[in-house]
Amino acid sequence: MKQNWERKHIADICEKASSNIAQNKLEGVDGEYPVYGASGFVQNVDFYQRDTEYIGIVKDGSGVGRVNTYPAYSSLLGTMQYILPKKGYLLQFVSYALKSLNLASFASGAAIPHIYFKDYGKCEISVPPLMEQSRIVAELDLLTGIIDKQKAQLKELDNLAQSIFYDMFGDPIENPKGWNVQLLKQHTTKIGSGATPKGGNESYKSEGIPLIRSLNVYNGTFKYKDLAHIDDEQAAALDNVILLSGDVLLNITGASVARCCIVPSDLVSGRVNQHVAILRPKDSLKSVFLCAQLISSGYQRKLLHDSKANGATREALTKSQLEGLPVIIPPLKLQQEFADKITAIASQKSAINLSMAETQKLLDYTMDKYFG
């Protein structure tokens, strides 16, 4: 350990505070002070619980263990917990320290995962003097700032792709340009989802045949983080959902319902579980165009509405609903022209993603150097 650095428990450098704010109690409340939840900003209200900047941690449910900092004169929902640095410890240094702990690994509870300060508060880290904390924060802020700018660039490119779609085709639900509208089943050779191998998460392998889950599918983007793998025997039981080039992936259950992307070329021959549907277009419907149509804002609203129309306790899209989806079918030449433009945008996104991955490696190395 470096000179003047000390080993400290998390509970030695910060303390917790609770929130009693329930989102369903905020209906009709308005004001100038923001309330935040696990997914970010919720709404403005006429009160606040904290008058200084603070750290917030998702303590229950989806996103459990996620760490962020929040501005003064704001509040958190009750599913989150305030973390307040003690005197002598910089807020951002404590925030980075908490992020280094992978707090989600402390989660307990099968139905609704939750974490407790009494558990992760026992973790030890090395803590430098205040001046060194400031230097470390500046170094880490520089790297996270670069990643934030790269994410913003990706968002701008996604917005550009959406803008091109609307300019060329209009809203596919309102169909102001009067395109031919037909059912999705008329222009696909396959619509179907897979299954989770017996044993669930415990049955996944460190390598093997990829198994795509809903957590990998985002609108217009495939995320490789936490990609699961299965062995040949498990894959054989899912031979009805072997992925082919050009397949469109659509999440059909849960909070991520309606997210959609095209399967990456390096995952062809993989499989999907029961939460992801394969949409395999015929030659009359370009994959890039179908995906863009499904992730357009108007179509996303439709899919989310349809997912709640089954009377189930969670969002879900059935096979019959997917087969009956109305899709616009412009001339193939126009679809191809659009696909070419999106391919050019995808090339730019790929370069940014590669650069961001390198920056992330450097950030991970730096985090490990100070907190590993």
What integer pLDDT is reported at residue 311 of this predicted model?
58
Report residue 116 CA to chain centroid gap. Answer: 24
Q: What residue ranges define each of the domains in the chain, with the CATH number in brackets?
A: 6-128 (3.90.220.20), 180-329 (3.90.220.20)
What are the CA-CA distances from residue 299 to residues 14, 175, 248, 258 (Å)? Answer: 45, 11, 15, 9
Residue 308 reports pLDDT greater than 90: no
Residue 83 reports pLDDT greater than 80: yes
Share of the chain above pLDDT 70, in %: 98
Residue 184 reports pLDDT greater than 80: yes
Residue 110 reports pLDDT greater than 80: no
What integer pLDDT is reported at residue 310 of this predicted model?
65
Average confidence (pLDDT) over 363-369: 95
Question: What Rg, from alpha-carbon coordinates, does the chain have?
Answer: 23
- Using one digit for the tens of pLDDT, what is the confidence trace for 4-46? 899 999 999 999 999 999 998 999 899 999 999 998 999 999 9
Q: Rounded to the nearest 10 degrees, what angle do helices 332-371 and 130-169 cross at?
A: 170
Of 24-28, 31-35, 56-60, 309-313, minimum mean pLDDT range: 309-313
Rounded Cα gap, residues 136 and 367, in angstroms: 9
Mean pLDDT over the full length of the chain: 93
- Say what the pTM is: 0.79
Average confidence (pLDDT) over 197-212: 88
Average confidence (pLDDT) over 75-93: 96
Residue 113 reports pLDDT greater than 90: no
| Cβ proximity of 21 and 35 under 8 Å | yes
Share of the chain above pLDDT 90, in %: 83
- Using one digit for the tens of pLDDT, what is the confidence trace for 241-254? 999 999 999 999 98
- Binning pLDDT at 50, 70 and 90, where does residue 135 land? very high
Residue 199 reports pLDDT greater than 70: yes
- Using one digit for the tens of pLDDT, what is the confidence trace for 320-360? 999 999 999 999 999 999 999 999 999 999 999 999 999 99
What integer pLDDT is reported at residue 111 of this predicted model?
72
Rounded Cα gap, residues 137 and 91, in angstroms: 9
Rounded Cα gap, residues 99 and 140, in angstroms: 12
Rounded Cα gap, residues 95 and 367, in angstroms: 12
Residue 47 reports pLDDT greater than 90: yes
Residue 197 reports pLDDT greater than 90: no
Average confidence (pLDDT) over 132-145: 97
- Using one digit for the tens of pLDDT, what is the confidence trace for 139-177? 999 999 999 999 999 999 999 999 999 999 999 999 999
| Cβ proximity of 84 and 358 under 8 Å | no
- Using one digit for the tens of pLDDT, what is the confidence trace for 264-282? 999 999 999 999 999 999 9
What integer pLDDT is reported at residue 61 of this predicted model?
83
What integer pLDDT is reported at residue 313 of this predicted model?
62
Residue 69 reports pLDDT greater than 80: yes
Of 143-147, 205-209, 293-297, 333-337, minimum mean pLDDT range: 205-209
Closest to 223 measured CA to CA, from 327, 57, 65, 360: 360
What integer pLDDT is reported at residue 186 of this predicted model?
97
- Which string of b and e fits 121-149 if b means at least 16 CB within 10 Å? bebebebbeeeebeebbeebeebbebbee
